Structure 1
Amino acid sequence: MFGFSEEQISAFGLTFGVGGFMLYMVFIIGQLAWESKAGRFGTFVLFLGLGLGLVGFAAKFIIQWMISK
């Protein structure tokens, strides 16, 4: 499609598509903290607990990139 291979399209989707969903999830966590009136510590705990998976996914991507070089 448009001169791209299936591997290139899937890599683009994984990089930018999932990255966009990760940013949206950060927005959702912030909205959850705001609506629940969690306070500073509660907001920190929400971002720590729910955002840890996002950090793990990003770390996996960076580790794979470093190994492939």
Structure 2
Amino acid sequence: MSEAEFAAIALKVCLTVLIGFLFFIIWDLGRKAKVGKLGMFILFLVLGLGIAGFLFKNVLVGWFA
């Protein structure tokens, strides 16, 4: 396995773990703030859209490059 292959695999694995951890942080933040179901939905929607935008940007760059 070359260094480039390892870096590509490690990047995908680490980004997946980071995104999962960010969703855990969002959930924990909502739980500690004792928000209702609507508040939790809004937290996940707004903060999740930021993650989705980051991923969509990478897809677009890869598609057009």
Query: 3-state DSSP class of the match of 2:56?
Result: helix
Partner of residue 19 from structure 2, selected from 22, 25, 32: 22
Aligned to 1:47: 44
How much is the aligned-residue C-alpha RMSD, in angstroms? 1.8
Number of residue pairs matched by the alignment: 63
Report the Cα offset of residue 24 of structure 1.
Answer: 0.8
Partner of residue 34 from structure 2, selected from 29, 34, 37: 37
List gaps (5 residues or longer) in structure 1. none
State the Cα deviation string for residues 10-40 of structure 1 (Å, max 9, x = none). 1111111110110011111000000001111
List gaps (5 residues or longer) in structure 2. none
TM-score normalized with structure 2 length: 0.77
Instruction: Please list every run of at least 4 consecutive aligned residues from structure 1 whose deviation after the TM superposition is greater than 4 angstroms.
Output: 60-63
Work out which structure has the larger RCO, using CA pairs closer than 8 Å and 6 or more positions apart in sequence. 2
Structure 2 residue 49 is the aligned partner of structure 1 residue 56: no
